[in-house]
Amino acid sequence: MRAARIVRVNGTGRRTSMARRFERIAFIASPNPESRQAAAQLMARYDNVSPEDADVVVALGGDGLMLQALHRFIDGSKPIYGMNRGTVGFLMNEFREDGLLERLESAQRSVVHPLRMDAEDIEGTVHKAQAINEVYMLRQIHQTARLRILVDGQERLPELIADGILLATPAGSTAYNLSVGGPILPLDAQLLALTPISAFRPRRWRGALLPSHARIRVEVIDPDHRPVAAVADHTEFRRVRWVEASLDQHTDLVVLHDPGHSLDERILREQFG
């Protein structure tokens, strides 16, 4: 395999060669035809290795694929550079075939941390999952959920009657959290957004901004008759008794963006419509 190097012209007019940060690239794609075609075009122009052997993963698809890639490499801190071949593409860069190696070299790093969730179901089994965007609880039947909220072991809300509740990271604050009326958080904010989903009581409670080191516990009141599901991104557990969630600040997930289009910049733009 040929080595990936960058060639520059110095002040004397001579060409100099520098080793790149990312010499081994892996391409992954969503199953839709547009993403697969884009991957084939790029692999025809650039060397491709397996994701496990790569220095960087180039993901071709939409935000769903980006979340899948971050979950797949959550233990290895492998940087992900996405190019949009999906729909919204909030986490993705513009797709172009040309200049990929140069774009990777100049890309800016955004570091996000996942949430860790523990959830006990009515059978007493404790389930574990991780979330890049959010952990949320949602009623399973026509009746509203009744929830008790504790922060760092202290009761903060004895009863929330609502469709559910959501805990979002800064990276996930522009996703489901924003759709249910939660605040947008800057990426470097040391905060988590706790947002009710269609709250009935207390009517005026709009949620809370919590420090990033907080541990949140939500208990289901009467889980047998008012069942509630717990979800960490795309992993769901049904009929839970309680959920605990906190930010894993020891795990760094790296997303790469073109200059001027970093995740910080995109979140800032969202706040101005």
Catalytic residue list: 63
CB-facing half-sphere around the CA of 154: CA atoms within 13 A: 3
Q: Compute how many other C-beta atoms are within 10 angstroms of the C-beta atom of residue 102.
A: 11
93 labeled binding residue? no
179 labeled binding residue? yes
- What whole-number distance in Å separates Cα of residue 166 and Cα of residue 139? 12
262 labeled binding residue? no
134 labeled binding residue? yes
Q: Compute how many other C-beta atoms are within 10 angstroms of the C-beta atom of residue 53.
A: 8
98 labeled binding residue? no
64 labeled binding residue? yes
- What whole-number distance in Å separates Cα of residue 199 and Cα of residue 164? 8
Nearest Cα to Cα of residue 220 among 198, 244, 197, 203: 244
Which phi and psi angles does 173 have, rounded to 5°?
Answer: -70, -20
DSSP state of 74: T
- Identify residue 163 by its one-letter amino acid code: D
* Alpha helices, DSSP H, located in 134-195: 176-179
Burial 159-191 (b: 16+ CB within 10 A, else e): ebbbbbbbbbbbbbbbbbbbebebbbbebebeb
The structure tokens 């052997």 sit at 53
174 labeled binding residue? yes
175 labeled binding residue? yes
Residues marked as binding for NAD(+)?
63-64, 133-134, 163, 171, 174-179
Residues marked as binding?
63-64, 133-134, 163, 171, 174-179
